[in-house]
Amino acid sequence: MSAPLRALDDAFHAMVERSRTSPPPSLGERHDRLARLRAVVADNEERFRQAISADFGHRSAVETTIAETLLVFSEVRHATKHLKSWMAPQRIATALQFLPARNRLFPQPLGVVGIIAPWNYPLQLALAPAIGAIAAGNRVIIKPSELVPHFSALLRELVAARFDATEMLVTGIENEVAKAFPTLPFDHLVFTGSTRVGRIVAEAAGRNLTPVTLELGGKSPAIVDPSADLEEAAERIAYGKLLNAGQTCIAPDYVLVPEASLQAFAEKVRAHMRRMFGTDPNNKDYTSIISDRHYARLERLVADAAQRGAKILQPAKADDPNWKARRKFPPTLVVGATPEMAIMQEEIFGPVLPVMGFREAAEAIAFINGRDRPLALYWFGKDRTARDEVLMRTVSGGVTVNDCLFHFTQINQPMGGVGASGAGAYHGEWGFRTFSKLKPVFYRSKLNRLADLYPPYGGKIARLEKMMRFMS
């Protein structure tokens, strides 16, 4: 066994041992761990911004702050405020025939939670599930992505400085560690990433019957209803698509627009893209693509769409070599995309937006339902009947109406996928519950007649059975 694997194995078993032999952490201990985790970020914001930017080639500092740092602070604040009530035993109703007995539901830590974090929002998507796991009283091991080595090394250093290795630790990013991580018998495993890798992780975890929360991706649609304000929809979809240069699992992946408005909508989106991010690849607000391989993949998707007859619109001159030199992919619209194009077959994960026309709302709904269930869905319009029809007839991980992305920021709502876009959920109390065992406890009363159920049965069981049937 190599040194990195031995270190992982030793750390995991030490955590398991401590979780089984120590009492569950108290409210004060959990508050302390949450405060220390917040301090890891608060005391090193600039270092995290620089590390993430170094990994991307360039990452907008503003986007790191609003989409990562502030969301982590919000999660910690919310958990700290509500943790006492979350930890309290819940009163559960008792069936009439068992009164005056009592039922209670006790939340208990599962034990050791593993987190496999992605590269696109490396800070937020590593620490948000960790906050829920810590709040629930668990011990946590985080495996960052190998695509963000600067960030991973920094997070590992800072967590080790503030946490005991049996409370929380960050692993290395070696390939052998990545392969071994999901095979460990965690009490719960969280994976955020692609559907393809998610299947591999779920299969590995399944061998240990490890429960998993999968935050995957897929092709999240946006529907622009005929009743929508076209200008408003174009602006909000442009922002949702270009945040983090489209490298967002809940970014709008394609747009369905009434055929009569197709060209006008595309031009409005292009204008908003130009207004937001300009035409200069040196723009500090515009984020780079994570790797040369991902950049080349986006080039292939656009080239395939153009070859198959789509119209390519770009607010900037894509032939400027400075785009590729800085690994910044120019914002791109693919107008008139069709299902057979590669860009409609796989998740784009970049600043490329296919736009397709539809004649009737039923056609748009059928198109969405004919594919894997998406992680997110966006609907724009004023017609409430049309809106409710889409909400009722489609299934997705989450929905934002008349905007993009913002359902993810609602800390009182769960975040999770469905089908190929994921399983399970976290955020706020939903995370606490995901990482807890909600143990039902029945307290029998001395006054209860349950002893009448014991043999020998005789006539007493008939009377009790009659009473139970009457109360059922």
Residues annotated as catalytic are: 215, 249
Distance between CA atoms of residues 113 and 138, nearest Å: 7
Distances (CA, A) of 40 to 154, 160, 354: 10, 10, 40
Do the bridges between strand 311-313 and strand 212-215 make them parallel or antiparallel, or are there none, so unpaired?
Answer: unpaired
Distance between CA atoms of residues 332 and 382, nearest Å: 28
Angle at 233 between CA 123 and CA 377, to 5 degrees: 55
Closest among 214, 232, 212 to 222, alpha carbons compared: 232
CB contact at 8 A, 341 and 310: yes
CB burial readout 260-270, b (16+ within 10 A) else e: ebbbebbebbb
CA 342 to chain centre: 25
Tell me which DSSP letter residue 207 carries: T
CB contact at 8 A, 369 and 342: no
